Structures are given as C-alpha cells and as structure tokens.
C-alpha cells in the first residue's frame, strides 16, 4: 500500500485543477498586473476577480481583502498594524495562550516594545471563556486576537461571541483562521470579525500565498514600503500564479466543504473511537464538539511521540506530534501545556489530520499499525514495566485481602 498522509494541518497537496489554473500565469500570461498595456490589464482583472471571490466567500467586500505571502505575514501584519491604534503607544492586546507562533511570537515582540499583552487561559479542551475575556478588557485595549481553530488540537473558539463583545466595546477583533478557512463556514458579518488571516496551502492551494481581511474604516498601517500595490499598504509585485491558484482552491473548497465535513468527521470519530477503545492508557486532546472535522489529537501514556512518529514514518504514515512548526523539539508544545495534559501523557501526543483523499481503508491500517507500534514502544519503556509491576502487586494485595 502506498503511503498514508495524515498531516493536512501542516499542509495539503495542491489540487490538479489548481495547478492547471496557475500554469498560464507563469509563461503565457506572465505580465505585471501594474503595467498599462492590455495583457497586463487582463491579469489585473483576473486577480481582482479572485479578490471579489474571496470577499464573497467570507462575507466581506473586495476592498477589504489584501493578498499576503501566507498566514504568518497576515498574522504579523494584523497585530503590528492595529496594536498601536489611535496613536496609543503602549496599548493593550488580548490574545490566548494557544495561538500559533505567528501570533504568539509577534505578541512577545510587541511586549518588548512597550505594549501590554494579556494571554487568556483556555480550559482543558482548549476553549477560552467569554467571562475571562470580559474581565481582561481595559480602557486602552486596542486589539483582541483569538484564533478561529487551533492547529494542534482542532478546538474551535466561540468566535461570534468574541466578536459581539469586541464590537460592543469598539475594539477590533482579529482571528487567525488559517486552519478554519476552507474547512468550516466563516461569515465576518455574522461573526463580527474585523480582521482575518488565511493561507492557501491549508485548503489545497499553493504555498506562500494567503490573505488578510480588514474591515473597511480600520486604520491599517502599511506593511511594506515600495510600489502602490494592495492600495499602497503592502507593496511588491503580486504573486499572480499564487493568487490565481488560491482563488481556484477556495472556489473548489467552497463547493466541497459540506461533503468533506461529513466524510472527514466520520473518519475522525472512527479513529478516535477505535484508538481510545483498542489502545489502553490513551486520552483525547481537544474538544468533543467544537472541533475541526479533520483533527484527531490523542496522547499515549508510556510512549514518546518522537519515537512513535519515526516508527509510523517507517510504515509510510505521515503524522505529527504537535504543531509542524514545533517538530524537532522534544518539549511538549505550548498548546499541550495550556490545556494541562497530565504529565504522564504530555510526551506521547500524536496529531492525525485527515484530508479529502484519505480512505476508510487507510484509517483501518493506521489503527492496526498504531496498536502494534504503541505496544512495541511500551515494551521498551521502564516506566511501563514499573507501572505493570505496581498494578500486579496491587492485584496480589487485593487477592490476599480477599482470602
Ligand atoms: N496560523 C495557524 C493557525 C497555522 O496553523 C499556520 C501554519 O501552520 C500559520 C498561522 C502560518 O501560516 P503560513 O504557513 O501560511 O505562514
């Protein structure tokens, strides 16, 4: 059997239709959209059509969409541009403890330059509590940035409730929707979102392209100096093939969202049920209901996830121990710490993220391999041996008492 890819939260393969849509813009339609001649103007029209399409997908206006080089850039831009709003140097940002590093590290940098940042805690399933948010709002709060859905545990935040509070108090609300966009419905009007980041490579588009939505009227500072692209706010010749590819990918994602949701949720729940039933000393991380359709995050006691990932790789199964950005680091991720995974489970985290090309047959194989590999690793674990000995002596003690 060919390899099984279960790391769609890290990235997805580009759909062939997307590649086909991009191809002409490398050679035949290579023109710079800022030039005055006709072929350039045709390219300009095409990228403006993508802007309209993205806007309509999230319920925004085309002039509220800015193309970026991906999610990281959109996140950095949103925070740095809005943190010091109204010239309030030393403003206050509210975010959460489980944001992607594109947000977390930017917040740390803003703190170093004088901003105050409040990191809202999350509960054991990874959700912030609205009451905590309300309590932390200050007179000088300039921005609330809470992710739509988490990249490690898949937990979806109460976005509409956050938007409602932010709007009542006239505080801009940014959400990192990199994992959510293309997977679950987004409506910036209904959910009262003021800024939103997304990235094409998470919904079967190309890497290195994304967008930032910014509600009209917000004082967005420019990110890059240079030409007048993106209304003078993000200079640089547009990544035309990337933008075209992102448009095509989003068009297809919109069409298939519901069927993918049903299919992936079924596979997700099947995996979770079988893994927790058939492999003892296993826990599920994240939320049972407010969870991305494709996210499975489990932790095995007496197992080191780095070793497990290597064994899975040898079986041609691609998975992740936490955020892709954290791979190579043995320490439990900030998300795993934030949801207070018990210490016996912290080092045995496994993230499996499903995609539309996965099959039920693959799910079955993954469970079979996991059962074998977890057992293999436990056999080599001195902690597991100690644990079994302790259990045995407890049992013997019980038997003696009963006699
Ligand atoms: N935000 C989240 C939640 C992510 O999962 C990622 C990537 O994994 C990013 C931001 C960064 O996006 P990009 O890879 O497009 O820079």
pLDDT tens for residues 267-305? 999 999 999 999 999 999 999 999 999 999 999 999 999
From 9, 69, 72, the mutation candidate for ligand 1 (largest count of ligand atoms within 8 A of CB) is: 72
Q: Which atom of ligand 1 is nearest to the CA of 102?
A: 10
Question: Cβ–Cβ contacts within 10 Å for residue 161, how many?
Answer: 14
pLDDT classification of 400: cutoffs 50, 70, 90? confident
How far is ligand 1, taken at its centre, from the CA of residue 179, in Å?
Answer: 7
C-beta 118 within 6 A of ligand 1: no
What pLDDT score does 113 carry? 87
* For ligand 1, atom 4: residue with the closest CA: 178
* For ligand 1, atom 10: residue with the closest CA: 71
134-137 long-range Cβ contacts below 8 angstroms, 24+ apart: 134/165, 136/94, 137/94, 137/165, 137/169, 137/171
Kindly state the average pLDDT of the residues 169-186.
Answer: 97
Pairwise CA distance, residues 56 & 92, whole Å: 32
C-beta 242 within 6 A of ligand 1: no
The beta strands (E) that lie in 319-387 are given as 349-353
How far is ligand 1, taken at its centre, from the CA of residue 39, in Å?
Answer: 34
Mean pLDDT of the chain: 94
Question: Cβ–Cβ contacts within 10 Å for residue 243, how many?
Answer: 28
Annotated catalytic sites, by residue?
325
The beta strands (E) that lie in 61-156 are given as 65-68, 92-96, 116-120, 141-145
What pLDDT score does 84 carry? 63
What pLDDT score does 193 carry? 98
pLDDT classification of 322: cutoffs 50, 70, 90? low
* For ligand 1, atom 13: residue with the closest CA: 71
How far is ligand 1, taken at its centre, from the CA of residue 154, in Å?
Answer: 13
pLDDT (tens digit per residue) in 112-139 = 988 999 999 999 999 999 999 999 999 9
Considering all CA atoms of the chain, what is the largest pairwise distance in Å, rounded to the nearest integer?
96
C-beta 145 within 6 A of ligand 1: no
DSSP 93: E
Strands 195-199 and 210-214: antiparallel
Count the residues in the chain. Answer: 403
From 14, 68, 71, 204, the mutation candidate for ligand 1 (largest count of ligand atoms within 8 A of CB) is: 71
Burial of 368-395, coded b for 16+ CB within 10 Å and e otherwise, reads ebbeebbeebbeebeebeebeeeeeeee
* 342 burial type by CB count under 10 A (0-12 exposed, 13-18 middle, 19+ buried): exposed
Cβ proximity of 79 and 92 under 8 Å: no
* For ligand 1, atom 12: residue with the closest CA: 71
Cβ proximity of 150 and 177 under 8 Å: no
Cβ proximity of 348 and 35 under 8 Å: no
Kindly state the average pLDDT of the residues 340-358.
Answer: 97
SS3 at position 282: strand
Residue with the bigger pLDDT between 339 and 89: it is 339
Most confident of 74-83, 89-98, 173-182: 173-182
C-beta 294 within 6 A of ligand 1: no
What pLDDT score does 325 carry? 47
Residue 296: what are its φ and ψ, rounded to 5°?
A: -120, 125
C-beta 353 within 6 A of ligand 1: no
Quick one: CA torsion of 60, 63, 67, 68, rounded to 10 degrees? -90
DSSP 117: E
Strands 65-68 and 210-214: antiparallel
How far is ligand 1, taken at its centre, from the CA of residue 219, in Å?
Answer: 24
C-beta 152 within 6 A of ligand 1: no
How far is ligand 1, taken at its centre, from the CA of residue 74, in Å?
Answer: 9
C-beta 210 within 6 A of ligand 1: yes
Pairwise CA distance, residues 345 & 19, whole Å: 41
What pLDDT score does 328 carry? 54
């Amino acid at each position: 059997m060919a390899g099984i890819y279960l790391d769609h939260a890290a990235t997805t393969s580009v759909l062939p239709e997307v590649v086909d849509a991009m191809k002409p813009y490398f050679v035949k339609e290579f023109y710079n959209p800022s030039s005055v001649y006709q072929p350039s103007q045709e390219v300009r029209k095409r990228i403006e059509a993508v802007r309209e399409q993205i806007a309509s997908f999230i319920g925004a206006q085309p002039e509220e969409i800015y193309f970026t080089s991906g999610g990281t850039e959109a996140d950095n831009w949103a925070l740095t541009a809005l943190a010091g709003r109204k010239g309030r140097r030393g403003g206050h940002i509210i975010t959460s403890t489980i944001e992607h590093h594109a947000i977390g590290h930017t917040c740390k940098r803003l703190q170093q330059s004088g901003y105050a940042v409040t990191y809202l805690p999350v509960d054991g399933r990874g959700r912030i509590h609205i009451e905590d948010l309300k309590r932390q709002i200050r007179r000088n709060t300039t921005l609330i940035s809470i992710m739509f859905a988490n990249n490690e545990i898949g937990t979806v935040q109460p976005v509409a409730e956050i938007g409602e509070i932010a709007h009542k108090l006239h505080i801009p609300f940014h959400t990192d929707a990199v994992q959510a966009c293309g997977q679950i419905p987004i409506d910036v009007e209904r959910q009262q979102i003021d800024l939103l980041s997304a990235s094409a490579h998470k919904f079967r588009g190309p890497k290195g392209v994304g967008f930032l939505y910014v509600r009209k009227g917000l004082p967005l500072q420019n990110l890059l100096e240079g030409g007048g692209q993106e209304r003078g706010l993000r200079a640089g010749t547009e990544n035309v093939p990337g933008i075209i590819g992102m448009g095509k990918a989003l068009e297809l994602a919109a069409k298939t969202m519901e069927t993918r949701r049903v299919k992936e949720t079924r596979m997700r729940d099947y995996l979770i049920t079988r893994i927790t039933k058939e492999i003892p000393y296993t826990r599920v991380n994240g939320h049972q209901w407010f969870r991305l359709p494709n996210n499975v995050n489990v932790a095995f006691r007496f197992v080191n996830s780095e070793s497990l990932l290597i064994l899975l790789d040898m079986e041609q199964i691609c998975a992740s121990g936490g955020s892709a950005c954290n791979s190579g680091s043995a320490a439990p991720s900030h998300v795993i710490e934030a949801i207070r995974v018990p210490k016996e489970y912290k080092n045995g985290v496994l993230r499996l993220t499903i995609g539309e090309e996965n099959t039920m047959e693959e799910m079955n194989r993954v469970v079979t391999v996991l059962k074998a590999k977890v057992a293999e690793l436990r056999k080599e674990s001195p902690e597991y041996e100690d644990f079994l000995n302790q259990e045995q002596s407890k049992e013997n003690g019980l038997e003696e008492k009963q006699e």
